[in-house]
A and B are shown apart, each in its own frame.
Chain A
């Protein structure tokens, strides 16, 4: 027996993991729950957009050109971001895991490259445009809100922006490490 055959025999004789008794039923239940979650995610994203559009009409933003421009920019860039996200989730779901590994690696690398490109190019543009839209609305907030609430809106916006940038940064880091892991 060669040394490698010896190792192969060690490999084959290692302690076998017990098969969970109702494992296949758990898998079927999990698959259903994953599908439900995906539908829920899409619903949340779409209803966020719907709420913003409703808000636009609720506050009669169309009566002021500044409000129309500010809210219009914010809603549009958010809509673009949501469409990009739904598109990306669909791409990931369509990824075939039963391809030959060489082909699979190429496809998943392309997916992560597209994600990273989105994070580096589109996301900063979207954040900048969203902030610009918000800044356009500030004089209107100042006119119609109490000074305390106006201050609160300004400060909370800064925190939201910092939170958002941090969150995106973490996501970029994760996806870069995934890409690195696959390419290794």
Chain B
């Protein structure tokens, strides 16, 4: 039986990664992503006793994250897009470099949002820097299928962001 202390370490180690992955599913909406991340950790805590070391803890948490985000996609945005853009605009007046970064990041979120759910999951896991073998084990696709699809998605994404 896992202790609360062990769970606390798992939580603190994985929370930022989980929120960032969720933000990819919700077009950068941090408030909504944090809500869904809470659901993710409720599932992690609830199932921690059943976790067998068939995969790494990180792969297991990523699986729960991807599945929870997919099943939460109908949730409504918490941060209205206009407010986010307005804040981005205010930042741009004070710092050109950060505004360029913000613009690119917003463009990246926008382009990710245009992908279908399967491709979105593949790309977000790739952006997180996971090896393709691990992505295959999370999504249930073959390694070859992940490689081929990612190649296509990367091209598609690059073209979309640079447009």
Contacts and interface: CB of A to CB of B under 8 A. Distances in A.
A97 B139 contact: no
B60 to A, nearest CB: 6
Given A3-B162, A24-B4, A178-B74, A10 B101 contact: yes
Contacts of A4: 154, 157-158
Interface string B107-129: 01000000011100100001111
Nearest to B33: A17
* Chain A residues touching B, range: 35 or more
B138 A100 contact: yes
Interface residues of B, number: 52
Contacts, number: 130
B70 A101 contact: yes
Nearest to B7: A24
Interface string A153-183: 0000000000000000000001001100110
Given A7-B108, A7-B157, A24-B8, A108 B71 contact: yes
A121 interface: no
A14 interface: yes
Interface stretch (A25-33, A71-79, A131-139): A25-33
Given A19-B12, A24-B11, A10 B45 contact: no
Interface string B62-73: 011011101101
Contacts of B140: 99-103
Q: What is the interface of chain A mostly: helix, strand, loop, or mixed?
A: helix
B144 interface: no
A68 B138 CA distance: 56
Nearest to B18: A17
A140 B146 CA distance: 68
Interface string A1-29: 00110011011111011011001111110
Interface string A27-67: 11011001000000000000000000000000000000000
Contact of B34 (A17, A96, A105): A17
A22 B116 CA distance: 35
B77 to A, nearest CB: 14
A143 interface: no
B138 A101 contact: yes
B117 A182 contact: yes
Interface string B47-70: 100010000000010011011101
Interface of B: 4, 7-8, 11-12, 15-16, 19-20, 30, 33-34, 38, 41-43, 45-47, 51, 60, 63-64, 66-68, 70-71, 73-74, 101, 104-105, 108, 116-118, 121, 126-129, 137-141, 154, 157-158, 161-162
15 contacts: A4-B157, A7-B104, A11-B127, A16-B16, A16-B20, A23-B12, A27-B42, A99-B140, A100-B63, A101-B70, A102-B140, A104-B63, A108-B67, A178-B71, A178-B74
Interface of A: 3-4, 7-8, 10-14, 16-17, 19-20, 23-28, 30-31, 34, 96-105, 108, 174, 177-178, 181-182, 184
